[in-house]
């Protein structure tokens, strides 16, 4: 099953609102992406301030077609725009099978 990992590096002075991410941003992701086969959406937070990452978001899709469909959906722009409310860290994205 295709999985997308969105990684936020731990950088001095960076802002990351974990509460907003877990309560609002993930809800927005689920609202838009579920119709394209999103099966799981999780946000894992660092438990140590010296961890290399502040957070890792994992999105698992039913199939590759669904992942492609969500990337083509104009509503996905809402998700990307909302990242600024979560953090000022530029995320790194990796798609895996």
pLDDT digits (tens, 9 = 90+) for 27-60: 999 999 999 999 999 999 999 989 999 999 999 9
Mean pLDDT of 9-19: 95
pLDDT digits (tens, 9 = 90+) for 16-29: 999 999 999 999 99
Contacts of 21 (CB under 8 A, 6+ apart): 43, 55, 57, 86, 87
Between helix 26-33 and helix 76-86 the angle, nearest 10°, is 170
**All domains of the chain in start order, with CATH:** 3-96 (3.30.70.100)
């Amino acid at each position: 099953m295709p999985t997308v990992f969105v990684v936020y590096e731990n950088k001095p002075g960076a802002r990351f609102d974990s509460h907003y991410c877990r309560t609002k941003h993930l809800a927005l992701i689920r609202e838009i992406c579920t119709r394209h086969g999103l099966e799981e959406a999780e946000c894992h937070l660092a438990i140590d301030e010296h961890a290399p990452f502040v957070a890792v978001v994992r999105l698992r899709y039913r199939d590759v077609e669904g992942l492609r469909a969500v990337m083509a959906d104009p509503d996905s722009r809402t998700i990307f725009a909302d990242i600024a409310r979560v953090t000022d860290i530029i995320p790194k994205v990796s798609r895996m099978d």
